[in-house]
Structure 1
Amino acid sequence: MDRPEDLTPIDYYYSVRSVYAYLGAARITDLAQRSGRKLRHLPIDLSQVVPAYGSTPFAERSAIRRAHQFEVEVKRWSEWLQIPVILHPVHHHGDRLLPSSCALAVQALSLDVDGFSLALLTALWRDDRDIGHEDVLSSLAEDCSISPKTMLDLAHSDQIQNQFQQCTDKAIAEGVPGSPTYVVGDELFFGQDRLMFVERQLSLETGF
């Protein structure tokens, strides 16, 4: 049996403003923990990833298609998973760089990036908080027992902010369709509705 430190991490591509990443966040964290895998957070810019994959950018999709994907289906999943969702948060659209850089900073500091990322997504989709604002990010850090100043100082560094583009470039190179996407070994799984296949793959590889 492989030791946890010998196992390849699960690559977790997601947008910090993705409702479907929010719906799957707690479950992918649980799967990683139960399988003894590290969850490697790779926040991405969907405005680059989606068209690079060949999909229609969100703003160019028909109103009926957007309503089905982001109202009807989100409501169904919210009810099924018993996870509260605000369908149209006021703060849905906004800066992606700083909150993504905060997640990368927490990860670089070897702190609780799983908990912080879940808090970030929950703040937007359950509580409609402005996750692009430093005060909100500081509050979320404190809730996760992370020093807000340490996190924000690192998040503002060129090193970390460049990582956000590097994650996006890596996603494009690997053919990531959107958010969330999970990669286990050579297997890519797109969507929180594919987490049962992620679990199966992890079970096949590690026997957990």
Structure 2
Amino acid sequence: MSRKIDFYFDFISPFSYLAQLKLPEIARKAGCELEYWPIDIPEAKIAAGNYGPSNREVVPKIKVMMADLNRWAHKYDAPLRFPASFACKDWNCATLYAREQGKAEAYVAAAYNLIWGQGIDPSDRGELRACATEAGLDPEALTAFVDSSLGQNEYRKARSLAYQRGVFGAPLMFVDDQIFWGNDRLDFLQEYLSQQK
């Protein structure tokens, strides 16, 4: 059985966008299976006892964060555009449908490219359907899953299990008993994986 990297993310997270650009190749090189798990960052923070404001509400922090994001995007030679809205919960939920269809990597990459690469409005259902098509998924089946009680219950269960495991933000990667938080911890993740072969 191959080792797993559990990747916890939320499509509202630009640092998760950056991390997912590199994680598939990191996983392949290490012979690991990459598992995609959507969370809800504001909910995760509260579950962990963090009741502080979001980064967007702290003006000095957002200025530095924007500079960091642009530096990382330049380093990765990746586009970076803030989305027209942060209405990403349906996109998060749809990840579970993509997982069931064996298309999680393709879906997450396509979704992040649209949301943070192109800056689309995630509240536009047409964009979600286009993303499904790009990832090789049936757009009507994907949106039906998101709108169903089954889909919403699966998303709720996935979030609950994540918070029970200690997930407090994103991007967050679990391997064995190790936790790596943030795009800037990918080097540590790679180092750990290389030492465990």
Which residue in the other structure is 1:188 paired with?
Answer: 179
Out of 77, 84, 88, the residue aligned to residue 90 of structure 1 is: 84
Tell me which stretches of 4 or more aligned residues in structure 1 moved more than 6 Å.
Answer: none
Out of 124, 135, 154, the residue aligned to residue 163 of structure 1 is: 154
Q: Shift in Å at residue 150 of structure 1?
A: 2.3
Contact 1:104/1:155, CA 8 A, preserved across alignment: no
Which deviates the most, 54-63 or 74-83?
54-63
Which residue in the other structure is 1:100 paired with?
Answer: 92
Counterpart-to-counterpart distance in 2, 1:41 and 1:190: 15
The number of residues matched between the two structures is 196
Report matched runs for 1:108-187 at 5 Å: 108-110=100-102, 112-187=103-178
Which residue in the other structure is 1:3 paired with?
Answer: none
Which deviates the most, 131-140 or 47-56?
47-56
Which residue in the other structure is 2:43 paired with?
Answer: 48
Q: Shift in Å at residue 131 of structure 1?
A: 2.4
Which residue in the other structure is 2:63 paired with?
Answer: 67
Q: 1:38 aligns to what SS in structure 2?
A: strand
Counterpart-to-counterpart distance in 1, 2:97 and 2:123: 15
Please, which runs of 5 or more residues in structure 1 have no aligned partner? Answer: 1-5
Counterpart-to-counterpart distance in 2, 1:59 and 1:192: 16
- Superposition CA RMSD, Å: 1.9
Counterpart-to-counterpart distance in 1, 2:94 and 2:80: 23
Which deviates the most, 158-167 or 20-29?
158-167
Aligned: 1:27 with 2:18: no
Counterpart-to-counterpart distance in 2, 1:63 and 1:171: 30
Q: TM-score, normalised by structure 2?
A: 0.90
Superposed CA deviations along residues 158-208 of structure 1, whole A, max 9, x for unmatched, are 222122222222232222231100000110100011111111222233x3x
Q: 2:3 aligns to what SS in structure 1?
A: coil
Which residue in the other structure is 1:203 paired with?
Answer: 194
Superposed CA deviations along residues 40-69 of structure 1, whole A, max 9, x for unmatched, are 111111111123334423068531112212
Counterpart-to-counterpart distance in 2, 1:157 and 1:171: 21
Amino acid across the alignment from 1:38? E
Counterpart-to-counterpart distance in 2, 1:54 and 1:77: 29
Q: Shift in Å at residue 72 of structure 1?
A: 1.5
Contact 2:2/2:32, CA 8 A, preserved across alignment: yes
Q: 1:183 aligns to what SS in structure 2?
A: strand
Q: Shift in Å at residue 142 of structure 1?
A: 1.3
Please, which runs of 5 or more residues in structure 2 have no aligned partner? Answer: none
